[in-house]
């Protein structure tokens, strides 16, 4: 089972929406958010396989996830960003440009492929390939 934590800022409705999206996966995934995810992030991310950053809110709010993304990168965890439905496609925080492995549209099949199959892509909110993205990194 993959355990993936959803980084804040994210509201309870968005967390429930991510959980519903992942329920469509054929792989076994547990999504944890809110205070439980905050606690595990503070304790070092040891018990999870990766993090999801839902790109909602302002850039100022999204920059609050920098410590969690930096720690996830340092520990070799998956860092997956996902555009919420009907997203206006805000600017992507620099930390995600630097360390993110996937930037996905709101699509269960693509999210599941990233979580369970290490099939990452870098896409616009509508699903088109995003231009100017560097190639995927491979951890040694």
Q: What is the pLDDT of residues 72-88, one digit of tens each?
A: 898 898 898 888 877 77
pLDDT at 127 over 60: yes
Model confidence pLDDT, tens digit, residues 88-121? 766 788 888 899 998 998 888 888 888 887 788 8
Helix (H/G/I), strand (E/B), else coil: 30: strand
Tokens of 34: 């809110």
Nearest residue to 54 (alpha-carbon basis) of 2, 99, 109, 11: 11
pLDDT at 135 over 50: no
Q: Count other Cβ atoms within 10 Å, centred on residue 25.
A: 17
pLDDT at 3 over 80: no
Rounded average pLDDT over 55-69: 72
């Amino acid at each position: 089972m993959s355990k993936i934590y959803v980084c804040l800022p994210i509201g309870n409705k968005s967390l429930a929406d991510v959980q519903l999206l992942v329920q469509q996966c054929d792989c076994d995934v547990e999504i944890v958010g809110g205070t439980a995810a905050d606690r595990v992030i503070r304790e070092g991310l040891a018990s999870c396989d990766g993090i999801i950053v839902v790109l909602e809110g302002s850039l100022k709010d999204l920059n609050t996830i920098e410590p969690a993304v930096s720690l996830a990168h340092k520990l070799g965890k998956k860092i997956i960003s996902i555009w919420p439905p009907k997203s206006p496609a805000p600017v992507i925080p620099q930390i995600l440009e630097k360390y993110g492995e996937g930037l996905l549209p709101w699509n269960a099949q693509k999210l599941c492929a990233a979580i369970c199959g290490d099939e990452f892509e870098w896409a616009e909110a509508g699903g088109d390939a995003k231009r100017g993205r560097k190639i995927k990194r491979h951890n040694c």
